Chains A and B, each alone.
Chain A
Amino acid sequence: MDSTSAQVHYHAPPTSFLRKYIFSLDHKVIGEQYYMLALVAVYIGLVLSWIMRIHLAWPAFHIPGVEFLSKTGAPGGVLTPEYYLQLMTMHGTIMVFFVLTTAPFAGFGNYFLPIQVGAEDMPFPHINMMSFWVTFVAFCFSIAAFFVPQGPPLSGWTAYAPLSALGAVAGPGQGTGQVFWAISIGIFCIGQLLGALNFISTTLDMRCQGMSLMRLPLSVWAWFITSCIGLTAFAVLMPACILLILDHVAGTSFFIPSGLVVNDQLQPHAGGSTLLWQHLFWFFGHPEVYIAIVPAMGVVSHVLITNMRRPLLSHRVIIYSMVAIAFLSYMVYGHHMFVSGMNPFSSIVFSFPTLAITIPATIIVLIWIGSLYGSKLRVNTASLFALGFISMFVSGGISGFFLAQPSIDIMLHGTYFVVGHFHLVMAVAALFGIFAGTYFWFSKVTGRMMNEVLGKIHFLFTFVGAYCIFMPFHYLGMAGNIRRYQAFVDDFMAPLMPIHKFITIAALITGAAQLVFLYNLIHSRFWGKPAPQNPWEGTSLEWSIPSPPPFDNFGGKLPVVYHDPYQYGIEGATGDYVMQDSPEQINVVRDER
């Protein structure tokens, strides 16, 4: 590895246990902390979804253990309608904020962004540490909401006003639980803003010699673009949370209108705007979709290229498309509010960019598929999950075309069609990106390989299971099955119950498959096969250093970069690739086809 003169690290190697593992300044430890937080969160979210699905399929079933969560919310193990909504709220909150935002962006990004740009750490390690611990406190507030009187809020992860702003009078969990929710999300925003500050500074200013912007791997570009989105989006959600808290605790009227009577009580508020919350929330909420998905796009591109042994058809177009997605993501948020009573002309204004944003997304997908065509893809768990990501993203994205049109959205908005759409395009796709990244980078983080057989079993069940769960949601939606209800045993929805039962069984099996992943993760961490430094024959800088990387990443020196990030399919000294930091000249061998 060629490198520049010795550098002094920003901070000394940690010596105490606290500094090494708890309040660490090392970006790698912070990245692992974020990932572990997301791992805990995703299994909590999974269990909540299991409980909800069992209740939906068999509303009178006594779910063992649930009564310990809330004696009043689940007497005898059967959920009350209110408690179902409370669990639904926390499922959405935990999954969106503490999994989909935390793992692919903060987790992988913290660990690999500095290494991939050739830096020894992020420029502001203390702020980086603070960003994690602030996020951790936010997570604690969310979990604590389960244990306050009357439990967590029931207003959904979108916390629509005035339900979310009224207080205890609006129902179980709408008092202290809702305040805890708002505090949690407000603090979470601060953590993400601190993280974005470091990501942007690292990308712009910490690149090693030779690492021009176009030589950055696509994963770095994705994290950088996501940071820019997050910087703007979370800076708007945080004020919204502050206003919501003030409506609760200070008696202000930002979101509560005049003359509102709840449970026969006239509310002592006046003049607030319920739509104001929706505007503020969705200004964050739609970019949040891309905060979850763009890092996954970067990870998937990185994984696919390495396994295809060829660069994508166009490195630049992928970058420009991700930038276009980020830019357009701020212009489309109104499509979440088509049913809010907005002016039909406004609907068209929001509908147009909603359809337009599919263009860069489609370009990215076409580049992936075009690059895959004719390639000799190395089939491993990481590349399978990367392919699965494309499949989920396309499947969920197609239903977005329908929802982008106000006339159709008005019919489908309150149904399971929307649930199927956003779970596929945002949640499951991003989770596939997380899995692809985990199987790909695990060896670098731990120095051990994950079990490929277990990985492929995990992929198979997850891939098939995700379709079994979320595709029927679309059919349910088209049949008029309303979402957010806790039971569908009456009226026209009763004939749909077999589909709900099928989905629940699929959810239980797919969820159980995630235990295989957990086992693989833990077992491989301690007893996995020792990994070579570059098991996938990658070209980017993380593969030029030992596994796991040393404290200062590059052993007291900074690398020098000579090549674009994906020099595959060429005749190099080490095989069909040339590392970014290899000073050797590239010999191009032309295709003889």
Chain B
Amino acid sequence: MATTVHEPSRIESPRRTERPSSGNGGWRARPPVTGGLPSVDDSSPASRTGVWVGLAAITMTFAAFTSAMIVRQGGSNDWQHFTLPSMLYVSTAVLLVSSAVLEVARKRVAACLKGGQTSHANASSWLWLTMGLGWLFVACQYLAWLSLRAEGMYLATNPSSSFFYLFTGLHAVHVIGGLAGLALVIWRFRKPLSTLRISTLSTVSYYWHFMAVLWIYLLLLLWMRV
């Protein structure tokens, strides 16, 4: 006679046993794309989750730098204020425009992949424009550093300049990371029968827009603090 020493924690109902409906097997059980034009629905939640997790880590990193800046400024009286280089406002405008352009690009690429009226060349040109604006932003940041350098404010001159270079530099590194992602999108979209997944473009777009939002935050922080 079979006996057990306890009762299971939860008894499966026959209905539940027959129809396992939980979990993410639903979207993953769809037939895979086997060829031809990629489907616009061929996007995995994993890429969305992945980008949000990545953005959370970046947010935490800059939050740590922000707290370090506040503690450093409040802990000593050697903080030297200076006027932000005007080039930063130009770069801000460039980054915001690039974000808007990327949104247009995303819609055009999606329309193109669906086989709509948007031509491949048209959609591609918007991606290239975003890329160009991204590099222009990085160039503007570099000019801003040169401008500050001309005023005698170097990395180690004062904690305020240290944090200025740190924030703008690290943000630029992240923007260059976004440009690498954009380059991947352009590479995969280089032919009409491309291997680009719309989820890849969406992921890069989320990241790019986040870079714009992060920059606005950093600009305000620097404007208030340095």
Contact = CB atoms under 8 A, between A and B. Distances in A.
B8 A567 contact: yes
Nearest to B22: A212
A246 B159 CA distance: 12
Interface stretch (B27-35, B89-97, B111-119, B144-152): B27-35
Given A273-B71, A588-B8, A239 B162 contact: no
Interface stretch (A20-28, A202-210, A416-424): A202-210
B31 to A, nearest CB: 7
A201 B57 CA distance: 14
A252 B20 contact: no
What size tier do the contact residues of chain A reach? 35 or more
Interface string A239-253: 110110010001111
A271 B155 contact: no
Which size bracket describes the interface of B in this complex? Answer: 35 or more
B46 A310 contact: no
Nearest to B48: A205
A454 interface: no
Given A124-B50, A207-B24, A212-B23, A585 B8 contact: no
A588 B24 CA distance: 29
Interface string B132-172: 00000000000000000000000110010010001000100
Contact of A210 (B22, B76, B159): B22
A207 B25 contact: yes
B9 A311 contact: yes
A251 B156 contact: yes
Contacts of A254: 68, 72, 159, 162
A236 B61 contact: yes
Nearest to B71: A276
A258 B76 contact: yes
A564 B77 CA distance: 60
B45 A205 contact: yes
Interface in A189-210: 193, 196-198, 200-202, 204-210
B57 A206 contact: no
Given A232-B60, A376-B5, A276 B75 contact: yes
A252 to B, nearest CB: 5
23 contacts: A198-B50, A204-B49, A205-B24, A206-B24, A208-B28, A211-B23, A213-B22, A215-B22, A242-B166, A251-B155, A253-B156, A257-B76, A258-B76, A258-B78, A271-B72, A272-B72, A273-B75, A311-B9, A563-B17, A570-B8, A576-B4, A583-B17, A585-B12
Given A197-B50, A231-B57, A585-B17, 17 more contacts: A4-B25, A7-B28, A124-B46, A201-B50, A207-B25, A209-B21, A209-B29, A213-B22, A234-B57, A239-B68, A240-B64, A243-B68, A250-B156, A375-B5, A562-B20, A571-B2, A589-B3
